[in-house]
Structure 1
Amino acid sequence: MRDPKKSAGGAHGRRGSKGSAPAASDPSNDGGYNAGMAVFSYIIGGIIVWSLIGWGLDYLWGTRWIVLAGALLGAVGGFYLSHMHGLTSSRKNADERHAPGAPSQDGEDNAK
Structure 2
Amino acid sequence: MTESKRTPGEDAGSSRTPASTPGVSAENSDGGYNAGMAVFSYIIGGIIVWSLIGWGLDNLWGTRWIVLAGALLGAVGGFYLSHMHGLTSPRNMSGKSGADSGPSADGNTNAK
If the length of structure 2 is used for normalisation, what is the TM-score? 0.67
- Give me the CA root mean square deviation: 2.9
Quote the offset at 1:51 in angstroms.
0.2
Paired residue total:
92
Q: Which residue of 2 aligns with 1:48?
A: 48
Quote the offset at 1:70 in angstroms.
0.1
Residue 23 of structure 1 pairs with residue 55 of structure 2: no
Unaligned runs of 5+ in 2: 1-9, 19-25
Distance change >3 Å, CA 27–CA 37, structure 1 → 2: farther
Distance change >3 Å, CA 64–CA 27, structure 1 → 2: farther
Quick one: percent identity of the two aligned structures?
Answer: 66
1:107 maps to amino acid: T
Unaligned runs of 5+ in 1: 1-8, 15-21
For 1:62 and 1:103, how far apart are their aligned partners in 2?
60
Q: How does 1:20-99 map to 2 (within 5 A)?
A: 23-24=16-17, 28-92=28-92, 95-96=94-95, 98-99=97-98
Larger helix fraction of residues: 1
